[in-house]
Structure 1
């Protein structure tokens, strides 16, 4: 298995997780909060998708799917187009109120763009330094693994919240 095939497999795992916990999830469960400041499933999926979209689009030299395919308008969120969820307030988290199909649609668009981008790479491309602001400088491969790690953590959080919401009757 090549490194590129391994990365594609990892992003496919994220897709399976996102589809798994969004399927059949009610609007109330999507916005359920375990406490007043907790993240919601809707926000977590929006955020993990925005981060993937932002980072992969930058690597590919493309416009983000969020703006290119009109998802920003369809979601109608009160954020700047560049918002990805970092540093957002509890009120911002509560503002993400969209249905599971909308979340899935945006995620699927970003996932398709991610796979298409990965299919253009060779294993050697993963060693290219893309960000020298860090000690050690960040390579293309490290950035992609970072996105996978972040996405899987948030997908796990969303799946956990779905379980709590279901136990609470949502």
Structure 2
């Protein structure tokens, strides 16, 4: 394990803590509630941040996504293509997560988190310089991709916590 791996595991642990704290105690109605019709719900934000982590880390690791190798798509029962991550979703798509339970959201998040941490534990410092996406200039390295996932996930976890707080104050 490298210092970089330790730091990234800490960052992903913090994301997971926010997810748990935000979802805990909310029923499907609260999870699906939105400040207005164009806003994201707690359920959609947590699902999306977890899908992004699952998709991007699996791609970097050269493994199958947790979502695709398990029965997650069936359990969630969403009207999306199997590989959907939420990128480009409309308000109507956000509303499709209306009946998702907090338990299911956290269970999927925990499965992805566990896979992410296990992968990070295998990395050496030199691994972070490996190019994982050459469609960009400069090319995206593993280290940059992982930091990008952390950044995106932290933003969405914070947004979910904000929505929860907003709804509790109504």
- Which bin holds the TM-score, normalised by the shorter protein? over 0.9
TM-score by length of 2: 0.96
Tell me what 1:34 maps to: 35
Q: Distance in 2 between matches of 1:61 and 1:34?
A: 38
TM-score by length of 1: 0.96
CA RMSD of aligned residues (A): 0.9
Q: Distance in 2 between matches of 1:160 and 1:111?
A: 22
5+ unaligned residues in a row in structure 1: which ranges?
none
Residues 14-163 of structure 1: pairs in structure 2 closer than 5 A: 14-97=15-98, 98-163=100-165
5+ unaligned residues in a row in structure 2: which ranges?
none
Q: Distance in 2 between matches of 1:88 and 1:158?
A: 16
| Further displaced range: 7-16 or 20-29 | 20-29
Number of residue pairs the alignment of both structures matches: 168
Tell me by how many angstroms 1:74 deviates. Answer: 0.2
Q: Decide whether the 8 Å contact of 1:29 with 1:166 is kept in 2.
A: no
Q: Distance in 2 between matches of 1:64 and 1:45?
A: 17
Q: Decide whether the 8 Å contact of 1:8 with 1:115 is kept in 2.
A: yes
